Chain A
């Protein structure tokens, strides 16, 4: 029996609002327990929710970016269940009338083609607090700082057919929310969480099999692994002739397995009904059009523009645009340095990103400005410094507060491009190494490398390598005639 995999993903994205969705508490991450939990967040008697404008705007931005419909009228509903990290005993979410629905997005899949994944809906809701089970010996600790943080829950249709597709979709949405600046997408901090609904069905069938929901997936790699494990698990069950139980399972990344959750989710009847403390959200055409106008350029448009406007190679354009922070840095860079865009791209990707990756720094934490980088690029372009000199300068730039000029001056890194100077160094070397010189002249061409090395050594690395090469070849020939 051949099986096909059917996957739908539910992504919970924390919106980058300053305050919570229904209260004015800060949403800052990592603060001491319960210091960001107000009366409203704590569900005190008599408190009431008031909706954050920015959360609505961000939801609409997302909807527009995935070509979805924006509901003219959407409703908040209460999802009722008991858990200590849910102070009111209900979560304010959206049920029958979500703010965004019927969207879609294209994702790249394995054979380099694109597949359209439908997005059923995206709705606003509040996040719950956190329970920590290993803090106290005989009790669980509850921290409600996170309770009330704005979430956008993005639900896909079960259009994903493999773990790779799921990962690709997750990455695409991740990139999108960061591009839109509606979320920082920080998975370590819980800003971007994934639940996967997985089921199998006989190949060719149109019915949906029983699905299991896997929670607690917080990386692209884990979503693939969790799905792979789950598919095998379900396959084994089905091939025994048994049925898959519809349940919620937790993914354990250490053991690489999913296991059943014995928890609040079981057999729960959430008794959704419209929240009477909140009124319908009415979104008019003016608001939508205003937001549409301010939508930033997205990934595909950017890649296209880089290729067309800057004549950068497609593979480089994709690499730069993949991360909105890198793209923004690049655009600032070429704003100041517009002599050679491909050169800028090359430098950014290999030199700058190379350095950052090695030191494990994110471009957001980069201490040098695009301005200073452009300065350096300009010097490279004009051959004032050699490529290896540039590496040294870059490191200095990042580690000190000095400007490019100051560094070059201080370290005497200026490249020697004066042919007379280079010539005299070359003559010295040719005189000092007659054996190698003669070896070259008798046909051993690889010795040239040694001689070039000596020239560079003598010039403390500053001689312009291209010129050294040219002039050395010229001068060594003069010895042949002798």
Chain B
């Protein structure tokens, strides 16, 4: 089974080699055939997708269509989609049908791309393994006993297996990059404020960003243009012009300086990973970049900082889930307090409860200064480290994860161990910086990723570097074994 890139699909459509209806049909066939191994979809949008593909084909025939007309994509089930169930993989929103589209979904709709379905995820985006979903875990197409990472595990597994060409994800502490690394694909978290958060169910407001998982940097560049841009409905949305990202991917990186944070390349990385990453870095050198060592002295505090800030924000963001205006509501409650507690006890899973409790604790009387205020100050320190580093270098490179995908069930009972998965990715969320992960090699036949971090609003640089790397290598073209043969 061939995994088509977005670029290939666009070409096939424009050459009339395939129609949108055929594409949509083909991908639904693939989903039907393979998704029961993966459990990467929660909801499929078959009827509507098929209708839209027919409309797309009419436009294509008339020669009056846009770049993404008729192209299928999937969305993590955290983006509100009008008339289509949006569950956030939680019992709390199991039957929730939003009466509106999130801005990003709306922008993509206007571009002509067709939503095929909503992908599985960790509940309310809280997790790094896609094991906290109410609808069951997602399985890694490279090894079905392993986790695809999280929280955008469904989007990652679907793209990696070839049953969808590109998918939306969200990244609060690494939830796009880590699954991309675990499944051997490319994932981008844009700059904070690049894409609108309106309609994207909030986990941690100052960290969440919408992003993409795809097979190549070129694919991401095409789609990113569509979903970016200022939104007056989002106060944290930035009025920054959206470049034509595709125009920049071919630039030379001769003379560009790459910084390697020494704190990322210390003992926390095992020798196999070190070796593979070094090989990756050599490729960038071959492409003309200069390598230098930098320091991010406070980056070691990323995980505790993140868990204070993200928990605090989510404890408040999830207070609206009480079953009164929408969402799960138990029919047997005796008073108001019972109503709240029962709905939330049944509606939320354990990880969500843990994060709400942690967040409530760190904000509570007597602890605010020691935890929340302290964490916000450390956040400033970490951000300052990056600002200083970017005075010397154009891009920062490091690992995405400490190891390849772990087994399902391996870490789920040890929250802190699970949290440590995000050690390399979290700092860019804290600083609001754009970051990307692309495949860089394999350990025991499992993919590992390399992470690129750029200054604010320099997604084009990330895509540029990654594209050139992908011209030089074929890691990103490797397909998971079980899905290679049709």
A/B contact in complex, CB under 8 angstroms = yes
Give chain A residues whose Cβ lies under 8 Å from the Cβ of B370: none
Q: Is A142 in contact with chain B by the CB < 8 A criterion?
A: yes
For A43-56 the 0/1 string (1 means CB < 8 A from B) is 11111111100000
Q: Is B304 in contact with chain A by the CB < 8 A criterion?
A: no
Give chain B residues whose Cβ lies under 8 Å from the Cβ of A273: 312, 316, 363, 368, 372
Residue of A48, A78, A269 with most partner-chain B CB within 10 A:
A48
**Given contacts A271-B360, A273-B316, are A46 and B102 in contact (CB under 8 A)?**
yes
Q: Is the CB of A269 within 8 A of B364?
A: yes
Q: Is the CB of B232 within 8 A of A50?
A: yes
Q: Is the CB of A84 within 8 A of B199?
A: no
Give chain A residues whose Cβ lies under 8 Å from the Cβ of B100: 39, 44
Q: Is A242 in contact with chain B by the CB < 8 A criterion?
A: no
Chain A residues numbered 267-285 whose CB sits less than 8 Å from any CB in chain B: 269, 271-273, 276-279
| Bound complex: CA A273 to CA B362 (Å) | 11
- Give B374 Cβ to nearest chain A Cβ, in Å: 13
| Bound complex: CA A50 to CA B319 (Å) | 20
Give chain A residues whose Cβ lies under 8 Å from the Cβ of B365: 269, 271
The count of residues in chain A whose C-beta lies closer than 8 Å to any C-beta of chain B is: 28
Contact check: which of B232, B235, B318 meets A277 at CB < 8 Å? B235
Residue of A at shortest CB range from B373?
A273
Q: Is the CB of B320 within 8 A of A87?
A: yes
- Give A261 Cβ to nearest chain B Cβ, in Å: 15
Give chain B residues whose Cβ lies under 8 Å from the Cβ of A278: 235
Q: Is the CB of A48 within 8 A of B102?
A: no
Q: Is the CB of A80 within 8 A of B319?
A: yes
Contact check: which of A48, A51, A90 meets B316 at CB < 8 Å? A90
Q: Is B214 in contact with chain A by the CB < 8 A criterion?
A: no
Residue of A at shortest CB range from B198?
A48
Contact check: which of A49, A87, A269, A271 meets B325 at CB < 8 Å? A87
Q: Is B86 in contact with chain A by the CB < 8 A criterion?
A: yes
Q: Is the CB of B197 within 8 A of A48?
A: yes
Q: Is A42 in contact with chain B by the CB < 8 A criterion?
A: yes
Q: Is A82 in contact with chain B by the CB < 8 A criterion?
A: yes
Residue of A at shortest CB range from B199?
A46
Chain A residues numbered 27-41 whose CB sits less than 8 Å from any CB in chain B: 39
Chain A residues numbered 228-279 whose CB sits less than 8 Å from any CB in chain B: 269, 271-273, 276-279
For B342-370 the 0/1 string (1 means CB < 8 A from A) is 00000000000000000010011100100
Q: Is A89 in contact with chain B by the CB < 8 A criterion?
A: yes
Q: Is A88 in contact with chain B by the CB < 8 A criterion?
A: yes
For A82-99 the 0/1 string (1 means CB < 8 A from B) is 101001111000000000
Q: Is the CB of A82 within 8 A of B98?
A: no
Give chain A residues whose Cβ lies under 8 Å from the Cβ of B206: 276
Q: Is the CB of A45 within 8 A of B325?
A: no
For A423-464 the 0/1 string (1 means CB < 8 A from B) is 000000000000000000000000000000000000000000
Q: Is the CB of A276 within 8 A of B313?
A: yes
Give chain A residues whose Cβ lies under 8 Å from the Cβ of B315: 80
- Give B21 Cβ to nearest chain A Cβ, in Å: 31
**Given contacts A84-B324, A90-B316, A279-B236, are A45 and B201 in contact (CB under 8 A)?**
yes
**Given contacts A46-B200, A78-B316, are A51 and B235 in contact (CB under 8 A)?**
yes
Give chain B residues whose Cβ lies under 8 Å from the Cβ of A89: 316, 318-320, 322
Q: Is the CB of A47 within 8 A of B340?
A: no
**Given contacts A42-B325, A84-B336, are A271 and B198 in contact (CB under 8 A)?**
no
| Bound complex: CA A329 to CA B177 (Å) | 68
Q: Is B205 in contact with chain A by the CB < 8 A criterion?
A: yes
Q: Is B389 in contact with chain A by the CB < 8 A criterion?
A: no
Residue of B at shortest CB range from A278?
B235
- Give A49 Cβ to nearest chain B Cβ, in Å: 7
Residue of A at shortest CB range from B196?
A48
Q: Is the CB of B102 within 8 A of A276?
A: no
Contact check: which of B88, B205, B316, B364 meets A45 at CB < 8 Å? B88
For B238-268 the 0/1 string (1 means CB < 8 A from A) is 0000000000000000000000000000000
Q: Is the CB of A46 within 8 A of B316?
A: no
**Given contacts A39-B99, A90-B319, A276-B205, are A44 and B326 in contact (CB under 8 A)?**
yes
Give chain A residues whose Cβ lies under 8 Å from the Cβ of B86: 45
Q: Is the CB of A46 within 8 A of B320?
A: no
Give chain B residues whose Cβ lies under 8 Å from the Cβ of A82: 319, 322, 340
Give chain A residues whose Cβ lies under 8 Å from the Cβ of B99: 39
**Given contacts A277-B205, A278-B235, are A46 and B198 in contact (CB under 8 A)?**
yes
Q: Is the CB of B96 within 8 A of A45?
A: yes
Q: Is B202 in contact with chain A by the CB < 8 A criterion?
A: yes
Contact check: which of A50, A51, A271, A277 meets B364 at CB < 8 Å? A271
- Give A318 Cβ to nearest chain B Cβ, in Å: 45
Q: Is B93 in contact with chain A by the CB < 8 A criterion?
A: yes
**Given contacts A82-B319, A82-B340, are A271 and B205 in contact (CB under 8 A)?**
no
Residue of A50, A51, A279 with most partner-chain B CB within 10 A:
A50
| Bound complex: CA A276 to CA B234 (Å) | 11
Q: Is B281 in contact with chain A by the CB < 8 A criterion?
A: no
Residue of A82, A88, A89, A273 with most partner-chain B CB within 10 A:
A273
Q: Is B38 in contact with chain A by the CB < 8 A criterion?
A: no
| Bound complex: CA A279 to CA B205 (Å) | 12
Give chain B residues whose Cβ lies under 8 Å from the Cβ of A50: 232-235
Residue of B at shortest CB range from A89?
B319
Give chain A residues whose Cβ lies under 8 Å from the Cβ of B88: 45
Give chain B residues whose Cβ lies under 8 Å from the Cβ of A47: 198-199
| Bound complex: CA A278 to CA B336 (Å) | 30
- Give A51 Cβ to nearest chain B Cβ, in Å: 7
Interface on A for B, CB 8 Å cutoff? 39, 42-51, 78, 80, 82, 84, 87-90, 142, 269, 271-273, 276-279
Interface on B for A, CB 8 Å cutoff? 79-80, 86, 88, 93, 96, 98-100, 102, 197-202, 204-206, 232-236, 312-313, 315-316, 318-320, 322, 324-326, 336, 340, 360, 363-365, 368, 372
State the 7 A-B residue pairs at the shortest beta-carbon distance, nearest first. A89-B319, A276-B205, A271-B363, A276-B206, A43-B320, A46-B199, A45-B201
6 additional contacts (CB under 8 A) given A45-B88, A45-B96, A50-B234: A46-B198, A48-B234, A49-B235, A80-B315, A90-B319, A271-B364
A-B contact pairs, 30 of them (CB 8 A): A39-B100, A44-B100, A45-B96, A45-B201, A45-B202, A45-B320, A46-B80, A46-B197, A46-B200, A48-B198, A48-B233, A48-B235, A49-B235, A84-B322, A84-B336, A87-B324, A88-B319, A89-B320, A269-B364, A271-B316, A271-B364, A272-B368, A273-B312, A273-B316, A273-B372, A276-B205, A276-B236, A277-B235, A277-B236, A279-B235
